[in-house]
Structure 1
Amino acid sequence: MIDFWIAAGLLLLAALAFLLLPLLRGRRAQAEEDRTALNVALYQERLGELAAQRAAGVLSDEQHEAGRVEASRELLQDTEGAERCSGSTLGKAIPIIMALLVPLAGFGLYLHWGASDKVELARQFGEQPRSMEDVTARLEQAVQAQPDSAEGWYFLGRAYMAQERPAEAARAFEKVVQLAGREPELLGQWAQALYFANQQTWTPQMQALTDEALQADPTDATSLGLLGIAAFEDERYEDAVAFWERLVATLPESDPSRAAIQTGIDRALAMSKDSAQPTTPAADAVEEAEAPTAVELDVTVTLAPELTARVLASDTVFVFARAASGPPMPLAVKRLSVRDLPATVTLSDADAMMPALKLSNFDRVVVSARVSRSGDATKGEWLGTGQAVAPASADEPLQVTIDKVDGD
């Protein structure tokens, strides 16, 4: 902050210079005028002396004229180069008053419209934080200074979660949603903070937030992970496995969190087997008869030759099926890379994005394949779409060629 006040002081000195320099120049001009007036008075006095000497007969006319010329010459020499002031002046009091009022007015205006708190905040953010608590304190100051900053509230919420302060994080994420809109990632973060603030008890509000997030983005990692955790805690192990498998399918192969999620899936599968209740053959037969027949759909994905030079081997390829007439959410998804093409994959009920939406629940589906350089399943660069088919009656692999710009 000291550097700011030094700069302000230098600017104030510059402003005062514009006010005080004319006053100093005025004093110098006044002194010059006084000196000139004195020289004129001395000149007139000298002329009087010469006239008196001529009248007394001391000086002849020639001597009197020579003396008068000499006095005139001396007067011209004394007044040569003197500055003459023209026009009126402001006087001495007004510049002094202005010199006092300018710093006072400037300081008052800065206190009213200035941003010293933001200057101090910028200085603090320029320093290396010493701890997580220090980071959180700075973020709290930032949102106080800029309450409309969605980015500031978002990072504050993340900092609260890192410090295991979920209730405060939930309020921060709610503020972010109000400022930045109902983005899927933000809704998932908000629901996650609410879940841990509520002692890991699931509520309708959390369900509504995750449903809205997944409807906008079926691959939202925070919502999928949270739903898996909630299902596991409620001993709904099959649902937990389904959500976590969907999450793993959206993550890059190099993502370090894949191993931890897979460990959770294995644990949920083991818990599901341990909790399974024995049944009689008759009950198994009734359950099998009531359950819909599981279907599998083989899909062969190829890349159009003209796109070979325009894609990267590391680009992600998502193969997904949607209902020909029904919800827009994908029913099943598989993840590949461009280097794997051409490839044949099998979509089945095991690849369902949601337990209630399976291939076997729909008469006709449309299979598409998308190349996404960013790894986002909802948008990419290139797309291929197959014909609508009945999953239960597809005997031959469905052919899908990626051959057009995504979004056309």
Structure 2
Amino acid sequence: MIDFWLAIGLLLLVALGFLLIPAIRRWRLMPGKDRTAFNVALYEERLAELSQQHATGLLNNQEWEEGRSEAARELLSDTNQPDIAIVGTRSGRVVPLIVALIVPLAGLGLYLHWGASDRVELTREFSQPPRSMDEMTSRLERAVKAQPESSEGWYLLGRTYMSQERFADAAHAFTQAVQYAGRQPELLGQLAQARYFAEGKTLTPETKALADEALKANPKEVTTLGLLGIAAFEQKNYAGAIAHWQTLIDQLPAADPSREAIQSGIERARQYMADRGEIPSAPSAAQAATLRVTVSLDPSLSAYVKPGDSVFVFARAVSGPPMPLAVKRLTVADLPVSVSLSDADAMMPQLKLSGFDQVQLVARISRAGNPTSGEWEALGKPITVKDAQPQQLKIVQPDAK
């Protein structure tokens, strides 16, 4: 900040220069004692002019005497006002000095009241990478103090507090973020997670209401799905934990490093359920009715589709009812994506993947959001549900319907 205040000082000197230099010049040109000399010079010049006119005959003796008397009276009148001249001269010197003193003091006071030196300093600090997590935390804390209405600042501060296991502070930060940014699903999920850990891993009714609100707005909100899975596991509700975590895995990219940890949690939950005699440790064929498929878009269609167009990925029986047995809804913006279809994705409880031997996978783009008809699609070959390998679908052909 030293160079910042130096720059302000230089600008102040320039401003004072514009104010004081003309005043100094005026003082030099009009000192008090020069006024009498100036008037005497004018008197002598007038006398010389009258004498020349008298010598050339333009003035007679009487006119010449009257002119001399008038010039003398004017000189006497001008020199009889010394006090006024002195007062004017002094005030002309004092006023610029007072203004020169008031201007910087007033400017400094106004800047300290309405200025943003703290924001300038923060901007300079954020241009350099932090040397530690504590330094980053300090910067963010000062940032939200300087801009308390910044939802982004509160969100980043909350995430930082979570990494430091300061859960109560994180809950406060996410509460502020929700206040300024609105009740967005991601923020509600982060707030619910912070409250859950701040309350000793207890899913209170208030925290559960936040999680439910987040999932209602976005059923694929990953933080909330992970939180509810953890809460169910801690309560020994292993089936609930598996359901939430499996839904979470379906939303994550294939290369996401957290997939392995979540899958490990699912296997642990299955083992605990097997130990309690609820399910066998190795899932049966019916329970293993899960199909994995990667859906992509042919580059030739990129100019014709919109990011918000609906994409339906579903499985339908080769020999059976025409309606989908399991379906997931995505958007073109999600492509390419890997998803899994299981009995949990059934549209009707009595029609599940595990109830059929062979199915066909379909991926369809529908701008109208209609899964039964659209603009483009990809059709897979019939596969056996029991031992199907991961499938690939590329949307390229027009919808036949």
Partner amino acid, structure 1, of 2:230: I
- How far the C-alpha of 1:25 sits from its partner, in A, is 1.8
Change (3 A) 1:347 1:103: closer
Deviates more, 1:302-311 or 1:145-154: 302-311
Please name the residue that 1:257 is paired with: 258
- How far the C-alpha of 1:316 sits from its partner, in A, is 11
Alignment of 1:1-400 (within 5 A): 1-30=1-30, 91-276=92-277, 307=301, 319=313, 332-333=327-328, 347-349=341-343, 351-352=344-345, 359-361=347-349, 369=363, 385-386=371-372
Provide structure 1 residue ranges, at least 5 long, that are not aligned to the other structure. 48-87, 280-294, 322-329, 353-357, 372-379, 388-395
Deviations 1:97-125 (A, max 9, x none): 11111111111211222222222222332
Query: Could you tell me how far apart the structure 2 residues matched to 1:248 and 1:346 are?
Result: 9
Partner amino acid, structure 1, of 2:348: S
Query: Could you tell me how far apart the structure 2 residues matched to 1:142 and 1:195 are?
Result: 26
The answer on whether the counterparts of 1:307 and 1:403 sit within 8 Å (CA) in structure 2 is no
Partner amino acid, structure 1, of 2:218: D
The answer on whether the counterparts of 1:320 and 1:369 sit within 8 Å (CA) in structure 2 is yes
- How far the C-alpha of 1:216 sits from its partner, in A, is 1.1
Query: Could you tell me how far apart the structure 2 residues matched to 1:304 and 1:11 are?
Result: 61
Partner amino acid, structure 1, of 2:313: V
The answer on whether the counterparts of 1:369 and 1:402 sit within 8 Å (CA) in structure 2 is no
Please name the residue that 1:60 is paired with: none
User: TM-score normalized by structure 2?
Assistant: 0.64
The answer on whether the counterparts of 1:225 and 1:244 sit within 8 Å (CA) in structure 2 is yes
Partner amino acid, structure 1, of 2:226: G
Query: Could you tell me how far apart the structure 1 residues matched to 2:211 and 2:225 are?
Result: 8
Provide structure 2 residue ranges, at least 5 long, that are not aligned to the other structure. 50-87, 281-288, 316-324, 352-360, 374-381, 384-394
Query: Could you tell me how far apart the structure 2 residues matched to 1:20 and 1:156 are?
Result: 50
Higher relative contact order, chain-length normalized (CA < 8 Å, sep 6+): 1
How many residues were matched structurally? 317
- How far the C-alpha of 1:369 sits from its partner, in A, is 4.8
Percent of pairs identical after alignment? 50
Query: Could you tell me how far apart the structure 2 residues matched to 1:302 and 1:131 are?
Result: 41
Name the SS of the counterpart of 2:348 in structure 1: helix
Query: Could you tell me how far apart the structure 2 residues matched to 1:15 and 1:35 are?
Result: 35
The answer on whether the counterparts of 1:148 and 1:179 sit within 8 Å (CA) in structure 2 is yes
Query: Could you tell me how far apart the structure 2 residues matched to 1:347 and 1:26 are?
Result: 91
Deviations 1:213-257 (A, max 9, x none): 111111111011111111111111111111111111111111111
The answer on whether the counterparts of 2:250 and 2:340 sit within 8 Å (CA) in structure 1 is no
Q: C-alpha root-mean-square deviation of aligned residues, in Å?
A: 4.8
- How far the C-alpha of 1:194 sits from its partner, in A, is 0.8
Query: Could you tell me how far apart the structure 2 residues matched to 1:346 and 1:11 are?
Result: 66
User: TM-score normalized by structure 1?
Assistant: 0.63
Query: Could you tell me how far apart the structure 2 residues matched to 1:35 and 1:230 are?
Result: 100
